[in-house]
Amino acid sequence: MIFPLIFLLLFLLFVLVYLDARRTFPYVYCNAMISAWEGRALTPSRLVELSEADPQAMLSSLSGTDFEGLPGSVLEAERVIRERAVEKYRRILEALPPRGKRFFTTVLERFEVYNLKALLVSLHTGIPPSFLPSPLTSEERLALLSRVKSMEELLKFLAGTDYGEFLSRSMEEYRRRGLAFLLHQLDRYYYTKLWLEAERQRKSIREVIGVECDLVNLKLLARLKSAGVPAVDIRPLLVPTYLIPARVLERMLEAEELSSLLQCLSETPYAEAVARASHQVQAAGSLLPLERELEAGFLRLCRWYSTSDFFSLAPAVCFFYTKEAEVRSLRALLRLRSEKVQPAKCREMLVYAV
């Protein structure tokens, strides 16, 4: 009697191992490729060293990284830095299995949102738009987008897409409340879509996207409240919350001073970051030091899940966020040092976890 039971248990174990292998094996090649790339990343200590160099010395000190051999012009170097990162995202997209590819595509849609916002601003100001290269859109399509000269042409260009439908629905409110409201609503639409898709993913993905959504809300609150925007106008712009309870977010909306905002955050899992940054926040009179502290924690979270949840989509998603931080840091250093900004001030702009 016991032998059939043993065989049944062994069979069930085999089935579980087989199903787990089917789920994880498609990610092996992609994540091995990402691991090799991570060995070429700019470390925080190297970024600090680069902050001491002038632009030309900085460009010649990038051997062994993804950014060696950049052009000598700072503007050209910034463009190539962005293009090389985008090429990495394209290669990840090609290597992922279908389910992972769908979610990673949603992560990358933020490039489409950025370019759409750039065009909307251009239509209002008359200044030609400056687009980011996108892993999802060809240069030819971006060129076509740059020729759009009115909202009507834009709606026709985006016909049949999610963002075309969103803009069509938002036209009445846009005419009533203006461009700034529409741009914030576009962000809200994107992050709501991203979160709804993240909810169907593994815990690692849910946590990474959830923490990003909390950071988006915090930055939005900081900027709009400092501009004197009333809570009733900020509330419709907030994205889904994760570790900040709705009741706490509501109190943050009503807070009138920085100290009140910090007190609200002290009741969340971000309390440790608040304690570390509290003195700097009070001295600076803004939430920027706290934003940097929270972003550093977010990047540490990404690095943790990149290794602890290796046989999954997590390394691809986490690589995207850490690479974007690396790109922003390097471009900021190049621009600031070309403007003769002191190294200490440049280091304050680094967005890498240190």
- Asked if residue 157 is part of any domain, the answer here is yes
pLDDT band at 25 (very low <50, low <70, confident <90, very high): low
- Asked if residue 153 is part of any domain, the answer here is yes
190: enclosing H helix or E strand: helix 179-198
Instruction: Kindly tell me if the per-residue pLDDT of 16 is higher than 50.
Output: no
Instruction: Kindly tell me if the per-residue pLDDT of 222 is higher than 80.
Output: yes
- Asked if residue 172 is part of any domain, the answer here is yes
Determine the structural domain holding residue 111 and report its residue range. Answer: 97-202
Provide the pLDDT for residue 181.
93
Instruction: Kindly tell me if the per-residue pLDDT of 354 is higher than 70.
Output: no
- Asked if residue 275 is part of any domain, the answer here is no
Which residue carries 């879509």 as its tokens?
Answer: 193
The number of domains in the chain is: 1
Rounded to whole angstroms, what are the CA distances from 163 to 19, 149, 160, 323? Answer: 37, 18, 9, 26
pLDDT band at 6 (very low <50, low <70, confident <90, very high): low
Q: pLDDT tens across 274-328, in order?
A: 898 888 888 888 788 888 999 999 999 999 999 999 999 999 999 999 999 999 9
The pTM (predicted TM-score) of the whole model is 0.91
Arithmetic mean of pLDDT, 251-262: 87
Provide the pLDDT for residue 225.
85
- Asked if residue 180 is part of any domain, the answer here is yes
Provide the pLDDT for residue 34.
97
What's the CA gap between 33 and 94, in Å, rounded? 12
What's the CA gap between 179 and 117, in Å, rounded? 10
Q: Which residue has the higher pLDDT, 2 or 72?
A: 72
3-state secondary structure of 46: helix
Arithmetic mean of pLDDT, 171-178: 93
Q: Are 212 and 298 in contact (CB under 8 A)?
A: yes
- Asked if residue 343 is part of any domain, the answer here is no
Residue 189's CATH number: 1.20.1690.10
Q: For a pLDDT cut of 70, what percent of the chain falls above it?
A: 92
Residues 317-349: b if buried by 16+ CB within 10 A, e if exposed: bbbbbbbbbbbbbbbbbbbbbbeebeeeebbee
- Asked if residue 350 is part of any domain, the answer here is no
- Asked if residue 351 is part of any domain, the answer here is no
Instruction: Kindly tell me if the per-residue pLDDT of 207 is higher than 70.
Output: yes
